[in-house]
Amino acid sequence: MTELAAQEVAHLERAVALAQAARDRGDHPFGAVVVAANGAVVEAMNSVVTDHDPTGHAETNAVRASGRRLSDAQLRTATLYTSTEPCAMCAAAIFWAGIPRMVFALSGAALIDLLPAGSDAPSLDLPARELYARASHPVEVVGPVPLPAAVTVHADFWA
């Protein structure tokens, strides 16, 4: 089990709450929070359905918003907290933004395990750590962090 400070757990819980909000509005249940060292916070949720944008994942939306609202120096001090381990596209966006640390609750493998047999939900089993192992600069990966709500938010969604 990964141990985090209480404030970090709160950021991760907020990411899960954003995932629930995304689900409640008809999007896929994913949320992300970027927190810079100076305390600046940027939040985002999945918008694939509502924006008709297949790249509208919570993490890419958080990276885009952070790029507009934070300086490069702030991004280089930030941590991205996410309800579920980012897919390869999102992990790459985190890398290209220069965000040096990412914390996730539910692992990508655990999400795949939640999919019902015969599900047509797309999946890409490429853990962020494997992607970052090939990166030119390090991205620290923390997770999975066991939060029951990170599992619950997906309950019956992918059926």
Domain of 84, CATH number, reads 3.40.140.10
Please state, in angstroms and rounded to a whole number, the distance separating the CA atoms of residues 19 and 106.
12
The pair of three-digit structure tokens given for residue 155, joined into one six-digit string: 């309950």
Catalytic residue among 59, 85, 130, 140: 59
Q: The pTM is what?
A: 0.95
Query: Active-site residue 59, yes or no?
Result: yes
DSSP helix, strand, coil percent of the chain (3-state; round to 5): 40, 15, 45
pLDDT for 2: 61
Q: Which domain holds residue 87?
A: 6-153
Strand partners, 124: none
One digit per residue, pLDDT tens: the chain, 159 residues?
Answer: 467 899 999 999 999 999 999 999 999 999 999 999 999 999 999 999 999 999 999 999 999 999 999 999 999 999 999 999 999 999 999 999 999 999 999 999 999 888 877 777 767 778 999 999 999 999 999 999 999 999 999 999 988
Domain assignment present for residue 74? The answer is yes
Sign of CA dihedral 32, 38, 39, 41: negative
Termini Cα distance of the chain: 29
Alpha-helical (H) ranges within 1-158 are 6-24, 58-69, 72-75, 88-97, 108-114, 128-132, 148-152
Domain assignment present for residue 1? The answer is no
The total number of structural domains in the chain stands at: 1
Domain assignment present for residue 36? The answer is yes
Q: How many other CB atoms are there within 10 angstroms of residue 19's CB atom?
A: 30
The pair of three-digit structure tokens given for residue 45, joined into one six-digit string: 């949720």
Domain assignment present for residue 159? The answer is no
pLDDT for 1: 47
Domain assignment present for residue 158? The answer is no
Please state, in angstroms and rounded to a whole number, the distance separating the CA atoms of residues 87 and 46.
13
Domain assignment present for residue 80? The answer is yes
- What letter would DSSP give residue 156? T
